[in-house]
Amino acid sequence: MKPFFRRVAATISTCTVLTTTPALVSSASAASERHGETVQGRILETYKRLGGYRTFGNAITPESNAGRGGKFQVFEQASSIYWHPNVSNGVARQVKGSIRDRWRDWGWENGSLRYPTTDELTTPDQIGRFNHFEEGSIYWTPSTDAQVVKGRIKDRWANQGWETGKLGYPTTSESSTPDGVGRFNHFQNGSIYWTPNTGPQVVKGRIRDYWASRGWETGSHGYPINEEYAVDGGIHQDFQNLDIQWVEPTSQRLPTGDHTDWDGYQMQFPVIAQDERWTPQSVAREVTEHFDAYFTFKGCGQKIRVGDYCGLNTIANPAIGSAPIEVTSIAADGFSFKSLEGHPEGAGRTISFRFVSRPGTSDPTKNNVYLIVTAWGPATGASMTGPLNSETLARYSWGKFSRNLNSRLNNAGTDYLTADKSVGAAQTRSMILNDDIGLDSPVVNLSDEELAWVPTSVPLIPLDGKNVPNIIPQHIVDETLKEKL
């Protein structure tokens, strides 16, 4: 027996009474016609309004009782007409085809959708069909089938333009999340997730794809708590536990120079094990977005952008003042500074910080993220030596920077979707011609004890070796001054 005949046997005797005793005809009219079975009252009105026999064919059941005091009748052309005196101003409504089948799956009028409040209608784009119900809607297209959307999720979908909005048609009916906390619908171009605490939130595009790859709401991010918004150089979305930010690819490259000249250097520092979250570009993005949380020295803001001026704090004689620098470049894999007039180490020096991927020392089958620091430029005009022109002070200063990164990155509140993740987290970026990546430079890995003295202000040593700040250990002073001989 077909599913829509489910009530016939239970209602035969009632229907006999209804068709012979007009006082019990609750579709509110004594008018009736014979179309296979008697069709009468408000159901007959809708039968005629929508085309009569041409649309419906003959009735294949008598008018029968429906939930909460309503009536229904089933017709040949895969259609039913449902009526309730308190729904849709008493107008009987047609439900048919795949939409009717989905409504059946959800319990007919006694289920959570309740009675239809519209006939089946064509969507504005002429692709789909839909019925609205008291507590939701069912939308159908040839490619998506019939899907239920209801409640707060339906409201959010309606606010963004229904099926003509950015999400398109629903591709699933509303479902419970695996943790039993939330509800969701997938759509052609995204999803809407709802919980009592977060409300309905749209998640789409690359952020949705990445969130899905990390375990949806059961992964480390949790549920979305708002919708995506533009940030400088990307798109960001906040989640309960860990935000996701898509970072726009850039062709910007860091400057290069001859670090083999006098007072130049290049060295590399281990930062963190490379995994599905941390890659060279994602580390670089986190640093430039939260610079003051990681950089060794204070004096710059939370974020850095090209053209920013920083007056780095120093521990030299107060008359020296700050060490002025300018942010000259921000690339996908790092950033660079240039020293300005008045800098104790001389103006015009460049230092670049580049994050790269290379095999780890303990397990060469797994990659680590390393920081390569390169400094070069004029040595004239310097009154002091510091981390921009001294290898010794650079080892400690940037060793502290890398240690800050290692100990703090996993507390970061954002997971970055960067270009180097699209080719797999364990792969290095591709090398290009004349790309001096610096993987052959010396690796510096200092202990916590060796780095304990490094302050948050730039350590500077006078070239004459006099009036050296007490915070700098004497053996470091001696080694630094020896470089200058």
Q: What letter would DSSP give residue 359?
A: E
What are phi and psi for residue 114, nearest 5 degrees?
Answer: 65, -145
pLDDT, position 418: 97
User: Is residue 27 scored above 70 in pLDDT?
Assistant: no
Cβ neighbours of residue 148 closer than 8 Å, sequence gap 6 or more: 102, 106, 113, 136, 137, 138, 170, 173, 174
- Between CA 33 and CA 41 the distance in angstroms is 9
pLDDT, position 373: 98
**CATH number of the domain encompassing residue 284:** 3.30.530.20
More confident residue, 1 or 287: 287
Residue 71 near residue 43 (C-beta atoms within 8 A): yes
pLDDT, position 159: 98
Domain boundary among 149, 179, 199: 149
- Between CA 485 and CA 482 the distance in angstroms is 5
pLDDT digits 0-9 by tens, 324-344: 999 999 999 999 999 999 999
245 pLDDT tier (thresholds 50, 70, 90): very high
Amino acid at 123: T
Kind and range of the H or E element at 273?
strand 265-273
What value does the mean pLDDT take over residues 339-353? 96
Kind and range of the H or E element at 355?
strand 350-359
pLDDT, position 318: 63
Residue 379 near residue 365 (C-beta atoms within 8 A): no
Domain boundary among 119, 149, 179: 149
pLDDT digits 0-9 by tens, 446-458: 999 999 999 999 9
Q: In terms of Cα–Cα distance, which of 75, 33, 39 is closest to 57?
A: 75
- Between CA 71 and CA 85 the distance in angstroms is 9
For 390-416, letters b (16+ CB in 10 Å) and e give bbbbbbbbbbbbbbbbbeebeebebbb
Would residue 375 count as lying in a domain?
yes
pLDDT, position 436: 52
User: Is residue 317 scored above 70 in pLDDT?
Assistant: no
Same domain, 138 and 277: no
Please tell me whether residue 6 adopts helix, strand or coil conformation.
coil
Residue 50 neighbours by CB distance under 10 Å: 18
Q: What letter would DSSP give residue 460?
A: -
Residue 483 near residue 393 (C-beta atoms within 8 A): no
User: Is residue 296 scored above 80 in pLDDT?
Assistant: yes
pLDDT, position 431: 35
Would residue 192 count as lying in a domain?
no
Would residue 157 count as lying in a domain?
no
pLDDT, position 247: 97
7 pLDDT tier (thresholds 50, 70, 90): very low
Mean pLDDT score of the chain:
91
pLDDT digits 0-9 by tens, 75-88: 999 999 999 999 99
| Token pair of 341 as six digits | 């007039």
Residues of the domain holding 270: 265-483
User: Is residue 6 scored above 70 in pLDDT?
Assistant: no
pLDDT digits 0-9 by tens, 145-180: 999 999 999 999 999 999 999 999 999 999 999 999
The H helix count followed by the E strand count for the chain is 10, 26
For the ranges 173-182, 283-292, 475-484, the lowest mean pLDDT is seen at 475-484
What value does the mean pLDDT take over residues 249-271? 94
Residue 108 neighbours by CB distance under 10 Å: 22
Angle at 77 between CA 61 and CA 129, to 5 degrees: 120
Same domain, 347 and 477: yes
Would residue 180 count as lying in a domain?
no
Longest dimension (CA), the chain: 118
Domain boundary among 95, 115, 149: 149
Q: Which ranges constitute the DSSP H helices of 28-71?
A: 41-49, 53-56
pLDDT, position 114: 99
- Between CA 108 and CA 95 the distance in angstroms is 10
CA distances from 83 to 61, 91, 233 (A): 15, 7, 55
- Between CA 44 and CA 23 the distance in angstroms is 17
365 pLDDT tier (thresholds 50, 70, 90): confident
Would residue 381 count as lying in a domain?
yes
pLDDT, position 362: 79
More confident residue, 363 or 119: 119
Q: In terms of Cα–Cα distance, which of 241, 245, 291 is closest to 408?
A: 291
Would residue 36 count as lying in a domain?
yes
Residue 266 near residue 373 (C-beta atoms within 8 A): yes
Angle at 459 between CA 457 and CA 465, to 5 degrees: 150
The number of distinct structural domains making up the chain is: 2
314 half-sphere exposure, CB direction, 13 A CA radius: 26
29 pLDDT tier (thresholds 50, 70, 90): low
What's the pTM? 0.89
Would residue 380 count as lying in a domain?
yes
| Token pair of 388 as six digits | 């921009």
Same domain, 275 and 137: no
User: Is residue 21 scored above 50 in pLDDT?
Assistant: no
| Token pair of 1 as six digits | 């027996």
Q: What letter would DSSP give residue 431?
A: P
Would residue 184 count as lying in a domain?
no
Residue 422 near residue 473 (C-beta atoms within 8 A): no
151 burial level (CB within 10 Å; 0-12, 13-18, 19+): middle
